[in-house]
Amino acid sequence: MWCQRLAWLLRGSCGRRWPRSVAALARGHHTAPRSLRCAWQLHGDHLELRYGNTLMRLDFVWLRDHCRSASCYNAKTNQRSLDTASVDLAIRPQAVRVDESTLFLTWPDGHVTRYGLEWLLKNSYEGQKKQVMHPRILWNAEIYRQAQVPSVDCRSFLETDEGLKEFLQNFLLYGIAFVENVAPTKEDTEILAERISIIRETIYGRMWYFTSDFSRGDTAYTKLALDRHTDTTYFQEPCGIQVFHCLKHEGTGGRTLLVDGFHAAEQVLRRAPEHFELLSRVPLKHEYVENVGGCHNHMIGVGPVLNVYPWNNELYLIRYNNYDRAVINTVPHDVVRRWYHAHRALTTELRRPENELWVKLKPGKALFVDNWRVLHGREAFTGYRQLCGCYLTRDDVLNTARLLGLQA
Ligand SMILES: C[N+](C)(C)CCCC[C@H](N)C(=O)O
Ligand SMILES: O=C(O)CCC(=O)C(=O)O
Ligand SMILES: [Fe+2]
């Protein structure tokens, strides 16, 4: 047990007895700091701090750098005032003390830093590691249908925080969400978008509006089927969210296909982790070359198919568009074939019929798609079909969600 370990150069402890703290943690009661036992030990360049059942290793420079005292941190702006470059990289605390809730460090120049133990738990690497950044429910068609995720009514979405919060919660969990009873116009769709975000203007405009008139040099502007893909893979930062609102369709076909890319990637990770690993390491180019009418564009975006946070391996972005994938020239020959195998494994998962959610977009029902997670496609169609929508900047959607108290 921790408190019985020997050979501590310098050590201390505080708090009540172990059994209670262990029981409290087992119940997940992180909010009862006084019941959590804490112990610490100084090492050459860091402080080892055990709090509850988390063992944190806190670098001395990090501890000095994150000091929340009034001279080091401006609590009004939530910005650091301390000049990190002025910290001696060989700094060591002169004195360390811990009481039931706080760690006190005295530095060689006499400056005192205080950290709440709960704050450390929330902000240390070890505390973060156990936590996912984005809680999600991965789905196939059956899981999504069973969940019976409700669409939010347009008025409640626009006029109440509860409506908006419910919508965003579903969007964060599933990567798709619908708003119902929207007036079928571009202007009304724009009002929806602006409720949650800043619209990301791109080469397609701010609010786009398209039919199968091939007014732009892309298959989207035809009646052809489009296999599952994410959009704007050829941007250095692909668009975060895509809004679709079908304003009119007089004809057949044209259903929308949705596939949870993270669910597929998770299956690849489970079945063949080496494929997942390769897809997350090999950078590729995607490209948009357009020369139709007056439109001339050449966009290039570089990045792996699967993008994971390096510290916890959590997937946060999938770039998957076989139409727009450029010549592979960023990979040496011995990796190329392995990459194709990995890409095939992911494609196999993405194409499993049980993973396909088909919906027919109708005037009045707007669809929001997390373009970093959920792939979309469409069935070929006949007749006149008019779709409007826009892209949203991801940071602003997440900002709105956080302001409503959601984890995003
Ligand atoms: C949505 N909107 C019709 C405006 C653009 C379509 C972009 C199509 C492109 N191949 C891509 O996947 O990014
Ligand atoms: O026509 C559709 O339903 C979608 C086309 C598409 O993939 C897009 O506009 O990004
Ligand atoms: Fe698309």
Q: Read off the pLDDT of residues 181-224 as tens digits, 9 standing for 90 and up.
A: 999 999 999 999 999 999 999 999 999 999 999 999 999 999 99
pLDDT at residue number 13: 54
pLDDT at residue number 131: 78
pLDDT at residue number 34: 54
pLDDT at residue number 36: 75
If you average pLDDT over residues 102-125, what whole number do you get?
97
Nearest protein CA to atom 6 of ligand 2, as residue: 220
Secondary structure of the chain in the HEC alphabet? Answer: CHHHCCCCCCEEEECCCHHHHHHHHHCCCCCCHHHCCEEEEECCCEEEEEECCEEEEEEHHHHHHCCCCCCCEECCCCEECCCHHHCCCCCCCCEEEECCCEEEEECCCCCEEEEEHHHHHHHCHHHHHCCCCCCCCCCCHHHHHHHCCCCEEHHHHHHCHHHHHHHHHHHHHHCEEEEECCCCCHHHHHHHHHHHCCEECECCECEEEECCCCCCCCHHHCCCCEEEECCCCCCCCCCCEEEEEEEEEECCECCEEEEEHHHHHHHHHHHCHHHHHHHHHCCEEEEEEEEECCEEEEEEEEECCEEECCCCCCEEEECCCCCCECCCCCCCHHHHHHHHHHHHHHHHHHHCHHHCEEECCCCCCEEEEECCCEEEEECCECCEEEEEEEEECHHHHHHHHHHCCCCC
CATH architecture entry for 2-129? 2-Layer Sandwich (3.30)
* Structure-model confidence comparison of residues 1 and 36, the more confident one: 36
pLDDT at residue number 29: 33
If you average pLDDT over residues 227-240, what whole number do you get?
98
| Percent of the chain residues topping a pLDDT of 90 | 88
- Domain-by-domain residue ranges, the chain? 2-129, 141-403
| Percent of the chain residues topping a pLDDT of 70 | 91
* Whether the CB of 321 sits within 6 Å of ligand 1: yes
pLDDT at residue number 12: 56
If you average pLDDT over residues 235-249, what whole number do you get?
98
User: Which residues, at least 6 apart from 76, have a Cβ–Cβ distance to it below 8 Å?
Assistant: none
Q: What topology is assigned to 141-403 in CATH? A: Double-stranded beta-helix (3.60.130)
pLDDT at residue number 1: 32
d(CA 41, ligand 1 centre) in Å: 56
* Whether the CB of 225 sits within 6 Å of ligand 2: no
Whether 351 shows a pLDDT value over 90: the answer reads yes
Whether 286 shows a pLDDT value over 90: the answer reads yes
State the average pLDDT for the chain.
Answer: 92
Tell me which of 27-36, 172-181, 266-275, 319-328 is least confident: 27-36
* Whether the CB of 190 sits within 6 Å of ligand 1: no
d(CA 387, CA 143) in angstroms, rounded, equals 28
Q: State the pTM of this model.
A: 0.89
* Distance, CA of 324 to chain centre: 23
Which residues have CB less than 5 Å away from ligand 3 (the ion)?
231
* Whether the CB of 245 sits within 6 Å of ligand 2: no
Q: What is the ipTM of this complex?
A: 0.99
d(CA 315, ligand 3 centre) in Å: 21
Nearest protein CA to atom 3 of ligand 2, as residue: 378
From 210, 226, 246, the mutation candidate for ligand 2 (largest count of ligand atoms within 8 A of CB) is 226
Whether 18 shows a pLDDT value over 50: the answer reads no
